[in-house]
Amino acid sequence: MNRYLKLVHMEIYRFRYILGGLMALTAVFQISALVSTLLRELSRRELLGENASGSPLSFAWAVASTNFWFIIPMLICIAVIAMYVFWIWYRDWVGRSSFIYRLLMLPTSRRHIYLAKGTAILLFILSLLSFQMVLLLVENMIFNLIVPAELRVESFFAEIIQSNLALKVLVPQSFEQFFYAYGLGMLAVFVIFTAIMLERCYRGIGILYGILYVGACVLVVTSPVLFLGLDESIYYFYPGEILAIASALCGIVLVISLLLGFRLLGRKITV
Amino acid sequence: MIEVVDIHKRYLRKKVLSGVSFTAEKGQITCLIGINGAGKSTILKAIMGLIPLNSGSIRIDGEQTGKAVYEKAAFVADHLTMPLAMKLSEGFQFMEEFYESWDSERACELMQFFKLDPKERIGNLSKGNAAKYSLLLGLSQDTEYVLMDEPFSGIDMFSKELITEVFASELMGERGVLLTTHEIHDMEYLIDKAVLLQDGVVRKSFNCEDMRSSEGKSVTDVMREVYQP
């Protein structure tokens, strides 16, 4: 357990500059877009003399008005994390130094390496999400500093989240939705990890095994919706039952991915 | 004792190892000799559990390869095995955190001996210094066996001398050393046992001192007989 936590720490340490860069990029894009939008709006109102008569400005309005510049850094973060799901493994094999030798020779269970990389990805996602939440508070403060008190109204946090297309998806309003969205995301990460293990163990033919494995997992996970949910002429199951079947299948795919990944890393891996 | 018994390894249809068997004892330097592609590195990787075997068995002091073995045997690869962005001192910290067998004092001594700068990034090391650093990481573990893959490959004369000095020093102690090479001249006088490999098969295995005293042949002489009959 102790060594697992050390491995998680090491993975985070290795990604720290990229993570910091992504956070800085998000902050720069969003704050500069917010400031320029607010200044433009205030000067427009001043020119038209709408300051007293116009509707008050809210932070939710400001976020909605800068939708594009809010979404771009989020998409960049998602793309970088998606690429890093692969790179977190391949970086240890390629280049002048093969760190995988050292990792595999650590006097700890090899499953800790697998789990540590998965945990690190989850922590990167959650830390970027948390940073976005904190950034919204900072942006709200900036909004309050720029917009005079008589021209603004307060926004509720839920209202702010709903005003942005990406935030609406990334920060679901119910915990259940949050659990499903991020649970499915982590399931996808572990399925990809196991596909990478297949490729690393069997190399050339392993690419085919990996693709087939991912395809099979996608088919299994989506099968309740594809075969039981779309054709409304078949009413064998209630939606709640279909959801339960889908959840059970996700659980099975997760367990198989973890067990297969552990076995491949423990017994079949080739440096 | 490291026991390698009838190991077979195949990459697709290509046979890399075909029934290799030998032993490497504690307190001795055993050398796997063979030209490129003979299967030397594959054997070391198999001993350290870095590649799966098709058949055969490997035991270190009677134990199968597993996590406990990594505190008992250290592996010095023929290239760097630490992240290039790390500083040399951070590499030490990493080793200290994960290995109970890590000896910080010895690591500092070797650092001074090899004249390496702990603040330097691993990625900035020259080939010779990278080899020294790899050796340092292997020798600073208080293990009973050290496995080295081509420790003299591509490094300058002075670095070779320094490394050879370490071989002959008390730093090696009573450890068992298993190394590979295709350039025997640098270390012929150091090795106790030679295992000559060709195309994944052990052609000859002998004790160097016995060979010298009984038949008056050096390792190079035996190599000529085996490889150029």
Interface touch A269/B52, C-beta < 8 Å: yes
Q: Is A1 on the interface with B (CB under 8 A)?
A: no
Q: Is A102 on the interface with B (CB under 8 A)?
A: yes
Q: Where are the domains of chain B?
A: 2-81+126-227
For the domain B2-81+126-227, what is the CATH code?
Answer: 3.40.50.300
Which residues in chain A have Cβ-Cβ distances shorter than 8 Å to B49? 104-105
The residue-averaged pLDDT of B114-140 equals 91
Interface touch A107/B77, C-beta < 8 Å: no
Question: Out of A98-107, A257-266, B19-28, B126-135, which region has the weakest mean confidence (pLDDT)?
Answer: B126-135
**Tokens of residue B82, six digits:** 């630490």
Number of other residues whose CB lies within 10 A of the CB of residue B59: 16
Ramachandran region, residue B19 (left: φ > 0; alpha: ψ -120 to 50; beta: rest): left
What pLDDT is recorded for position A230?
60
Q: Give residue A55's identity as a one-letter amino acid code.
A: S
Place of tokens 């160097």: B208
- For an interface test with B, the pick among A4, A18, A105 (most B C-beta atoms closer than 10 Å) comes out as A105
Task: Find, in chain A, the residue whose alpha carbon is nearest to that of B52.
Answer: A268
Pairing between strand B201-207 and B193-198?
antiparallel
CB B64 within 8 A of CB B58: yes
pLDDT (tens digit, 9 = 90+) per residue, B15-36?
999 999 999 999 999 999 988 8
Burial class (CB in 10 A: 0-12, 13-18, 19+), A149: exposed
ipTM: 0.92
Residue B117 CA to residue A98 CA, distance in Å, equals: 22
Q: How far is B84 from chain A (nearest CA, A)?
A: 7
Q: Is B77 on the interface with A (CB under 8 A)?
A: yes
Q: Is B103 on the interface with A (CB under 8 A)?
A: no
Q: Is A222 on the interface with B (CB under 8 A)?
A: no
Interface touch B99/A107, C-beta < 8 Å: yes
pLDDT (tens digit, 9 = 90+) per residue, A39-71?
998 888 888 776 666 688 899 999 999 989 999
pLDDT (tens digit, 9 = 90+) per residue, A185-216?
999 999 999 999 999 999 889 999 999 999 99
What pLDDT is recorded for position B196?
94
**Tokens of residue B138, six digits:** 């292997």
Model confidence at A175: pLDDT above 70:
yes
What pLDDT is recorded for position A16?
95
Interface touch A97/B123, C-beta < 8 Å: yes
